[in-house]
Every structure is written in structure tokens, then in C-alpha cells.
Structure 1
Amino acid sequence: MNNRRDWLKKVSLGAVGLGFCHFETFANTPSEKYIFPDLEQSPILLRSNENPYGPSPLAREAMQKSINNSNRYGWNLSGELISLIAKKNNVSDRNILLGAGSTEILDLVLQYTALQKGNFVLAETTFDYWTFPSKKLGLKKITVPLTADKKHDLSAMFKAIDADTKMVYICNPNNPTGTICDRDQLVSFIKEASKKAIVFVDEAYLDFTKEESLSNLVIENKNLIVTKTFSKMYGLAGARIGYAVAASSTIDELSALKSAPNLSVSLVSIAAAIASLKDEKFIKEVHSLNENVKKYTIEQLTKLNLTCIPSHSNFVYFSLDNYKKDFFKQLENHNIQGTKIYEENGKWTRITIGTMKEMQQFIEAIK
């Protein structure tokens, strides 16, 4: 496996002379305050936790400039991106594996887990669309209820681990509830649970918090895998780019399940991700906007006597128990797309935080 990875690395270095422009030029200092383009759509999309402000200006410029090089493979750029990601996560390049969105990483870990038949443990309710193939792969899914305040019950999840458990999945912050695990408790859980099975932590929404990533823990824990994405905070959901952070031996094992590791992401997407990582001002602006609009949304939902769960993400989980109208019909009548009922007991649903204008329209629609 190492020979295969080394060969790809050599090929990537050799590709430098094939006419690719260096993307450092895209990291020009942005203006004092971003003027976001008018990206509002009809219908208003509040269903998939996307960044309503789009990719950063530097990412858009990088994508446009990289199109002319799309006739070439992105080996050299993937190496540059991996190095930037590794630095951001305080690990080495050999601890990183790129994927076409974190969804590909989720699928890959599921396949890796299924190499040895058994079960995997996750919360109920959490992000579980990626688990649908598990039965066909020969894996049994064990679900553990959330606590009353919609948080992961780490104690109960640990008790659910048995001799056949191959993996435990934790989405932190959790989707759809927006809750987050106490870091010290989660670290303690990982330390003990990883002695029995792989612990797979999904940090898709951690950028919306000030919490420290668990990614640097992989250096000393070969049974910890962390997945992250550029889909949410960075506004690259459609570009499909994410990554895994794990021990180098684990990355080798995951890479062995792919025909060409790190090549499932397009050159255009890689260029966007490189530029995005260098555009810290954009991230700060988006974080601030999300917090302000989220605060407004929760205040308005509370005024409508709807119970909200404190959110550590770019969406809000709330109960429709006290709502007298047909919520989803109200959205449909106002050309707004929401999600569904995630928990029948309490009629819990989720709404993505859009722009201030979009959330004002949302509140008006359900009044």
C-alpha cells in the first residue's frame, strides 16, 4: 500500500511542470467587508444546511481560473491541499485522505467497517443517510436514544458496545439537533470506546463553534477517525470536497479501498478548497452572520411558543407540538423548502439558517 501511495506522490510531483498555475495568487487580501452576491433563490432553500452566502470570493476566483486546467489530473494540487489541511489540523500529510464530500468518507468507513461482519452504534436521532447500505454490507445498526435535551448519551452508547461492535459514530455537533458533546466527556469516551471499536467522529459543523477539533488525537489513537467537510462553513456543498483525518496506518487501510486515493475530487474543487482555507476573513464574516441570524430565528420561533434546542450549528431544531397550522403547507404556500418531522414524539423538525431576509420570510410564512 505504501508503494502505491508513494507512486501517486511521485506522479503528483512530476505533474508540477504540466502547466498548472500556483494557487497562492488567489490568496490576495480581501476587502475590509465582503459584499456577498445576491444568491437568494426561488424557492428559498432551508433544507440542507448549506451556506447561503456561497463560496468565498477567493474560492470563486480560483475555480474560474482552474477551469482551463481541467484537462489535467489534480495530483499536484491535491498534495498542496493535503498539506494545508494537515497544518490546520496539527497532523502530518499522511494523516489525511480527501473525498468527494465527507459523504464519500462516510461511505468508505462504512465499507471498511463491513470488512469484518458485526454491528455499529449510533444515536437516534442523528445524521444517518449514509448508513442505508449497511444491511447490504452485512452490518447491523444499533441505535441509542438521545438524552431528554437532545444530546448524545455517551454512557448509554458505551454500554451498547459489544463483542461484535466494529464502529461507533458520533456527529458533533449533531445533525439534526444542533447539540454538541462536552469535549472532556467525549475525549474520555473515545479513549475507552476505541479500545473496543473504531470511533468515527463527524465534525461537519464544528466550524460554526469555537470548539477545538479532535483531529490531532488521531496521532496516538489508530481507532479514531475524524471526518470534516468544505460543504458547510466554506460554502462548497456542490463542489463536493471533504476529508478524513486518521492515523497513517488507518489512512492506508481506507486508501486501499479506493482505486486512486485523493483523485475523486475535481481539480476545480481542490482549487476552491485551497483558496477557502486561506480566506480567514470570509469565514469570520460567515460565522458572525450565522450567529446573528440564528439568534433572530430562535427568538422569533420562541415568540411563536415553539420550543427550540440551543444550536451549535447553522440550523435550528424545534418542536411543532404547539403549532396549530400545517407547518409544511405554510412553507409550500410561500415557496420555502424545509425538511421533515425527525421525531414524532414532540413533532421535532429542523430549519437551516439562511440569510436574514430569508429567515424573515420564513417567520412571516409560519405566523
Structure 2
Amino acid sequence: MNNRRKWLKQISLGTIGLGIIPFETFANPSTEEYFLPNFDKSPILLRSNENPYGPSPLAITAMSKSVNLSNRYGWDFLPQLISAIAKKNNVSDANILLGAGSTEILDLVLQYTALKKGNFITAETTFDYWTAPSEKLGIKKITVPLTSDKKHDLTAMLKAIDSDTKMIYICNPNNPTGTICEREKLVSFINEATKKTTVFVDEAYIDFTKEQSLSDLIIENKNLIITKTFSKMYGLAGARVGYAVAHASIIEELSILKSSPNLSVSVVSASAAMASLQDEAFIQKVHSLIEEAKKYTIEQLTKLNLKCIPSYSNFVYFSLDNYKKDYFKQLENHNIQGTKIYEENGKWTRITIGTLKEMQQFIAAIK
């Protein structure tokens, strides 16, 4: 709480200390002269695993108060966010690298891997949009099928390592399946795999579980990188704040690949992330609401004879094999935006968990 008060105090004092002229002293042009985002709020957005409840009220207040500092670089502010993140993960500041969402960290690790040439291993199916540049960067992607219950096949991934393997990527919980690796098995896998290569664990959805993060392992393990984000549980997808947690030596190597380490996070976004870390009540409420809506959704999909995979995230992976209508046409007709078919065998798709009302509308649309 003291950190948050200090942060907000600095924001309020910043308009004086940095010599910022109040906006009201300028002539006020009409809003039409500015570019304003025009987000069409009418569709029900169940496509990108966003938090439907928005940012924390504390984060909204912090963003509002920090807007007038947007004419300054965040050099004086970002270290405070790094320290808060380090404390949350029980590591030191030297173990943290900020990014504009975890997407920037994913891209950065791909570049880092490409410097060594060779190949990297990932599951099939998993979050793989970020892997598209791999061939352009001169590294080969090797995929290992999921198990029959849609989990990472850690044994097979371990066997797939060869002398050219420079990295293994694991999304945990996995997107789009929502499955999770048991911690004991995953730790055992990491201990073995990191004797030969780097293991990169994406914990974008770990906040939707009761599982402990693997961040405590990076102190001793120099070949483990973890990425996290404020986009999902914290509702800051548009603010773009993510980070890497790794041994200080790895953070240093990753930082060299950025022209300005940490500076891709804006002052406004940093203030939102800082405030979000303080609003535990909001996080607990969001988690409870999403669990309620998820339970309803799985129950209703099951009643429609659509097989669902148990989910440890804010989305559900289910099969359209038994669905007789045109699923995507039904969504379109009801102004609902879903995603795609991820696996043709079984016609597996994913739906983001919105509010309970939105999920009720979704179920009504596909009935």
C-alpha cells in the first residue's frame, strides 16, 4: 500500500516537478481534430481471452493521473514497477525485463534463440503466432503432438531434444487447450531439459489457477526463462505490459537485444500495472466471476453433447464434432466473435469466458 501511495503521489507531483503546463491553458480544439479509437462495443468479444471486466479501478485512476506525464520518458518510474514485479515473484530486480506485453518477450526470446541457430521444440497445438518468424531468423521449429487428453507430452518433448535444440517452449496453462502441466512433473522435466538447452515457459494464464509460478526456479537455473503478462487477469491487454523472469545473466543477454531495455512500457501503462498489483480484491473478484461463468459454459456445452477439455484458464476448448449447425455462422448471426478451428480432427475450437450474461447469450446463439 505504501508503494502505491508513493507512486500515485509522484504522479500527482509530477505535473509540477516536471514543469507540465495544464492542458486547460491551451485552446481546446474539437475532439474531431484528434484521432480517437472507435472500438465497436456491440459485438460480444469472445476471441482473445481478454478480461471482460476491464482494468482494476485503482489502475484506471492511476492511468488517468499519469496521462500528463506522457511527455516524459519512464526512466524514473519503470524501476519502481520492476521492483514491485520482482517482489511479487520473490526474485531480485536483476531478474526482471519489461516488455510491451509478453508478446515482445516472446519475440525477444525467439531472436535470442536464433543467434545460436539450430531448432526449437514446441507443442502441437499451442500458442504459436509468435513462432512465425522462426524460419526467417534461420531456426527450425519442431512440433510434438499433445497427449490424447490435450496435455503437453513432456516425455516426448524430452526425447525430441537433439544437439541442435536451442530452446523448448511450454505454454502453461496451455493456449488454446486450457490444460496444465502438473508442477512436480514440469519441474522434473525442466531440471532434465535445461541440462541440454533453454526452457521457455509462458505463464500468461497462471493467475487463473492456484498453481505456484515457476519463478522461484530461475535463481539457480540459468537455462530457464519465464514470461508473464498483465494482459489477461489484470485486464490490461490494450496497455501492453509483460515481463520476463530469468537468471540475471539471461536478462542481461536479452537486454542487449533491445535498444532501450524496459522502455517499451509507457509511463501510463506502468502506472496501471503498478496499481493493479496492489488491488488484490479486484483480482479475487474477477477470478470468482470467471470461474462461475466458465462452470456455466462447460455445463451447457456438455448438455449440447459437445466434449469439453477441463480448463485452468479463462477459456474453454471444445469439440464441434457432434454439432450439426454451422457454428461460426451462428456466432456471426448473433454478433459474437469467437476464434477458429485449431484441430481439424475433432473440430476443436476455443471460446473465451466473458461475463455470465455474455456466456448465456453465447449458449443461446448456438442452441
How high is the TM-score relative to the length of structure 2? 0.90
* Equivalent residue number for residue 34 of structure 1: none
Q: Is the 8 A contact 1:40 1:52 kept in 2?
A: no
Q: Is the 8 A contact 1:101 1:240 kept in 2?
A: yes
**SS of alignment partner, residue 217 of structure 1:** helix
* Equivalent residue number for residue 242 of structure 1: 242
* Equivalent residue number for residue 361 of structure 2: 361
Shift of 1:216: 1.2
Alpha-carbon separation, structure 2, partners of 1:242 and 1:333 = 35
Alpha-carbon separation, structure 2, partners of 1:113 and 1:125 = 21
Q: Which sections of structure 2, spanning at least 5 residues, go unmatched?
A: 1-9, 16-38
Shift of 1:116: 1.1
Q: Is the 8 A contact 1:173 1:313 kept in 2?
A: yes
* 1:157-216: CA deviation from partner (whole Å, max 9, x where unpaired): 000010000000000000000000010000000001011111000000000000000011
Q: Is the 8 A contact 1:95 1:251 kept in 2?
A: yes
* Equivalent AA in structure 2 for residue 76 of structure 1: D
* Equivalent AA in structure 2 for residue 56 of structure 1: S
Give yes or no for the alignment of 1:223 onto 2:223.
Answer: yes
CA gap 1:40/1:300 in 2 versus in 1, 3 angstroms:
farther
* Equivalent AA in structure 1 for residue 14 of structure 2: F
* Equivalent residue number for residue 85 of structure 2: 85
* Equivalent residue number for residue 26 of structure 2: none
* Equivalent residue number for residue 265 of structure 1: 265
Shift of 1:18: 12
Shift of 1:224: 0.1
* Equivalent AA in structure 1 for residue 179 of structure 2: T
Give yes or no for the alignment of 1:315 onto 2:292.
Answer: no
* Equivalent residue number for residue 60 of structure 1: 60
* 1:281-337: CA deviation from partner (whole Å, max 9, x where unpaired): 000000000100000000000000000000000000000000000000000000000
* Equivalent residue number for residue 97 of structure 2: 97
RMSD of aligned C-alpha atoms? Answer: 1.6
Q: Is the 8 A contact 1:67 1:268 kept in 2?
A: yes
Q: Is the 8 A contact 2:49 2:314 kept in 1?
A: yes
Runs of 4+ in 1 over 4 A off after TM superposition: 16-19
Give yes or no for the alignment of 1:162 onto 2:156.
Answer: no
What does 1:297-316 align with in structure 2 at a 5 Å threshold?
297-316=297-316
* 1:109-151: CA deviation from partner (whole Å, max 9, x where unpaired): 0000000110000000000000000000000000000000000
**SS of alignment partner, residue 297 of structure 1:** helix
* Equivalent AA in structure 1 for residue 263 of structure 2: L
Shift of 1:42: 1.2
* Equivalent AA in structure 1 for residue 290 of structure 2: N
What does 1:1-367 align with in structure 2 at a 5 Å threshold?
20=14, 41-367=41-367
Alpha-carbon separation, structure 2, partners of 1:77 and 1:329 = 48
Shift of 1:20: 2.9
Alpha-carbon separation, structure 1, partners of 2:11 and 2:331 = 53
CA gap 1:353/1:17 in 2 versus in 1, 3 angstroms:
closer
CA gap 1:177/1:188 in 2 versus in 1, 3 angstroms:
same
* 1:220-246: CA deviation from partner (whole Å, max 9, x where unpaired): 001000000000000000000000000
Alpha-carbon separation, structure 1, partners of 2:289 and 2:60 = 20
* Equivalent AA in structure 1 for residue 104 of structure 2: E
**SS of alignment partner, residue 104 of structure 2:** helix
Shift of 1:17: 11
